[in-house]
Structure 1
Amino acid sequence: MGGQKESWTASFDSGSDYEDGSKTSPRERKEKRLWKKVRYQLVQYQSLPEYLRDNEFILGHYRSEWPLKQAFMSIFSIHNETLNVWTHLIGFFIFLSLTIYTATKVPKVVMDLQSMQQFSNMLRSTDLQKVQAELLKLPSLASMADIQRLKNDLRTSLPSGDISSLSRWHILELLANCLPRQLSAPKIADDCFLENVKDDGVTPPMIQPITRWPFFVFLGGAMFCLLASSTCHLLACHSQRLSYVMLRLDYAGIAALISTSFYPPVYYSFMCKPFFCYLYMGVITVLGVATIVLSLLPFFQKPHFRSIRASLFFGMGVSGVGPIIHKLVLYRNRPEAVLTTGYEVLMGAFYGLGALIYAVRIPERWKPGKFDIAGHSHQLFHVLVVAGAYSHYHAGLIYLRWRDMEGC
């Protein structure tokens, strides 16, 4: 085949002009098309250059040293990296959508829950039993009839002031500001209410949600990891140099995901205790940077370091056990602390199981060649990473609601 390639290449280079203006004959053009077709065929593991050999239990359907254009377009073809690319590419778009949703919707949703919860807590310390009972019947998205009933109860319970023109948000925000949780003097509440009521309605001060940057740092780390992984699996087959760069990017993305996953729980758990907040965030940041730097070393990508790579990333995840236990000790009576811990344990289980499957190469180890296209360990690892990050997103929403409602 090599000799045939040389003869074809020589004929293409020499060329001669024909009547139709081309430099190759029809036969030569046909041979050229055939060579391109053969050149971009999928190959077996034994035919790979050393730098592309990573998993000897995946026997076929490899791309080897394809041009960038063909490598990029192979995203739409079937090979042993197709699902590796798409599992994380779809995950990237999922988290991009979650980021947009968080930026545009979550502050309003959390403010709604915040106002409802504060209002409910405040009413418990007053004599407005009838209003409290009506409030507890309201769903999170109350109908107009529910809101009107609440207005009527407020009118009878707080006789001073006309509230007929108040919206649901005005009522909730007004009373959240006028009825402190420990208030015991209803007259003060009435005066506060009257001071904020105008003939044309009410414009009470808005309750500001807690800062979101730790949550967005996590979302950014997740998107970077998923996009870097997809790009690596798609383009690493081009050349040894690009494979080296892509693998470094992939490892950096994994370290970034693990590190940034700790930002929301650490920041929101210890925002009222700055020393521990900075200590834990500093430690995980240093570990993440150290892992990224280590991943830049050439020996780190060799197949026999697979277990070390998995152990290093697993160790980063285990480093979060300390802050979680500390949080449970501080807030052991708070349901938010227990619920967020449950999500964090679930996230760790997904990440840990994925790392274990990646390290031991199950199930392809049991039946080499049977899982080349679908079902091999790296694909399972990808799915578990997305699942872990998604469970952590839900924990983040609980932290935001918790701190929005109570602050420190």
Structure 2
Amino acid sequence: MPSFFSPIAPVSLAPVTPNPSRRHDAFFASPSPLPPADRLLTIFELPAWMRDNDFLRGSYRPPQKSLRRIFYSAFFTLHNDTINIWTHGIGFLFFLALGIYLLGPATSAHRHVSRIAVACTEKAVSTTADIRTHLKALGLPNFCLRHSHSPNLVQDALSNLLNSHRFGLFPLVLTSLLCLAFSTLFHAFWIHSPKALRLLGQLDFLGITFLISGHALSAIFYAFYCKPTIARWYYAFVIIVEAAIVPAIFSPSFGKPAARPFRTLLFCCLASTTLLPLLHAIWLHTTAFYELAVAAGSAASALAMYAIGAVFYVARFPECCRVGMHDRFFASHQLMHVAVLFGVGFHLYGCWTLLEYRMEFGCSASPLFHF
């Protein structure tokens, strides 16, 4: 009697080789694994060169050699670098559009004509008793009287003045774009290899240095527009300080996690070069105290944003208090990115305030008075 429970001898089957010419053979082919870029890792699965923050435990992209897959994983998947990439990526596009508007032909002097005309009238009335003093110290009433009969000349003068003053925004806008672009590239492509991590990290640090120096140069341009000699001294000071910092950025140990506090302190010291010339300008220009105070307040607000971001960055707060809870959202590096965007906005507002002040009041060095 046959036993229904007797073991069945194993049968050896030859592997099925799919034939590309037969469409139904695709069913028998081995399933394609998901792209490695789609699989997120924990920090314990990462190679040593990718470990930077032990408080972020998951949502890491694996190392990749394919730039296409790195690009896809960076911009079209959710991971612990997504917010870092998109905050500065969107910030780059925003400040690019704003820079084109402020520095391009779209910003004309038309909207300033009525305001300047009112200022001219007020100055002409207020200088009946002391017109010689105003003509010597300001020059604006003389311009108004000479060109009050010709709106076209006023328009041309204002256009020339605006073009001259907009040049002062160029370092701020350019360095902001470089910083945001370098940061986006770093967070998107650093997983390629240890060499890419080192080179892109150096580029990221260089962008931060450019950003701070560009802010200082724009502030100096407007604060000492009427005192070009002092401005040149401050330009040289900023350039020398930056030149001294750049070699440290390319040091092999500068990008290591252990150097995080040193990097932060170094960048904070460099950022102080923005506030120093504005405080000096307030001391020199008592007549423009309000506008310079607004600019200095904006610079101080920008520095405060950078300092707050630096505190988050160094302390690794809040993930240090809630380990593994901020792998994707609200991590310290993400908060620092947002603080940088606010800092750039504050500083741009301060420089624009000084630009409008110079357009209205000018000085003997202004091109407004050379027509």
TM-score, normalisation: structure 2? 0.80
Aligned to 2:366: none
Report if the CA contact (8 A) 1:344-1:395 is conserved: yes
1:347 corresponding residue in structure 2 = 302
Give the whole-Å Cα distance in 1 for the aligned partners of 2:240 and 2:44.
40
The aligned counterpart of 2:41 is: 43
Change (3 A) 1:203 1:278: closer
Aligned residues: 327
Mapped to 1, the partners of 2:140 and 2:167 lie a distance apart of 28
Quote the Cα distance in structure 1 between the aligned partners of 2:283 and 2:277. 10
- Whichever residue aligns with residue 246 of structure 2, its letter is I
2-side partners of 1:272 and 1:403: how far apart? Answer: 9
TM-superposed deviation, 1:294? 1.7
Please list, as runs of the form range in 1=range in 2, the aligned pairs for 1:14-25 lying within 5 A after superposition.
18-21=18-21
Relative to structure 1, is the Cα distance of residues 28 and 378 closer, same or farther in structure 2, using a 3 angstrom cutoff?
farther
| Map of 2:256 onto structure 1 | 302
Pairing partner for 2:202 from 232, 248, 273: 248
Q: Which residue of 2 aligns with 1:376?
A: 331
The one-letter code of the counterpart of 2:236 is G
Q: Could you report, residue by residue, the CA deviation over 1:221-257 in whole angstroms, capped at 9, with x for unpaired residues?
A: 0011011101110110111122222111111111110
- The alpha carbon displacement at 1:192 in A equals 7.4
Shift of 1:20: 2.9
Q: Which amino acid aligns with 1:122?
A: A
- Cross-structure match for 2:54: 56
Aligned to 1:101: 101
Aligned to 2:78: 78
CA contact (8 A) 1:84 1:382 kept: yes
| Structure 2 equivalent of residue 204 of structure 1 | 153
**1:273-352 to 2 correspondence within 5 Å?**
273-334=227-288, 335-352=290-307
Task: Give the root-mean-square deviation of aligned CA atoms.
Answer: 2.7
Residue in 1 aligned with 2:67? 68
Q: 1:53 to 1:234 in 2, by over 3 A?
A: same
Structure 1 segment 22-171 matched on structure 2, within 5 A:
29-31=29-31, 33-34=32-33, 36-37=34-35, 40-66=38-64, 67-74=66-73, 75-103=75-103, 104-108=105-109, 109-110=111-112, 112-125=114-127
Give the Cα–Cα distance (whole angstroms) in 1 for the partners of residues 106 and 350 of structure 2: 17
SS in 2 for 1:236: helix
**Per-residue deviation, 1:310:** 0.9
CA 1:28–1:40 in structure 2 vs 1: closer, same or farther (change >3 Å)?
A: farther
- What amino acid is aligned across from residue 98 of structure 1 in structure 2? L
Conserved? CA contact 2:41–2:59, under 8 Å: yes
CA separation of 1:342 and 1:356: change in aligned 2, threshold 3 A = same
Secondary structure class of the residue paired with 2:87: helix
Percent identical: 27
CA 107–359 in structure 1, closer or farther in 2 if over 3 Å, else same: farther
Tell me what 2:362 maps to: 407
Query: Distance in 2 between the 1:376 and 1:333 partners?
Result: 45
The whole-number CA distance in structure 1 between the counterparts of 2:37 and 2:231 is 56
Cα 1:265–1:301 change in 2 (3 A) is same
Q: What secondary structure is seen at the aligned counterpart in 2 of 1:65?
A: coil
TM-superposed CA distance for 1:314, in Å, is 0.8
| Aligned-partner Cα distance in 1 for 2:55–2:29 | 39
SS of the aligned residue for 1:370 comes to coil
- The 1-side partners of 2:114 and 2:206 are apart by 38
Q: CA deviation at 1:289?
A: 3.1
Contact 1:42 1:61 (C-alpha < 8 Å) held by counterparts: yes
Structure 1 391/272 Cα, relative in aligned 2: closer, same or farther at 3 Å?
A: same
Aligned to 2:135: none
How far apart are 1:329 and its partner, in Å?
0.5
Q: Secondary structure at the match of 1:71?
A: helix
1:262 to 199, 206, 216: 216
Which residue matches 2:349? Answer: 394
Distance 1:203 1:301, change over 3 A: closer
Contact preservation (8 Å) 1:114, 1:401: no
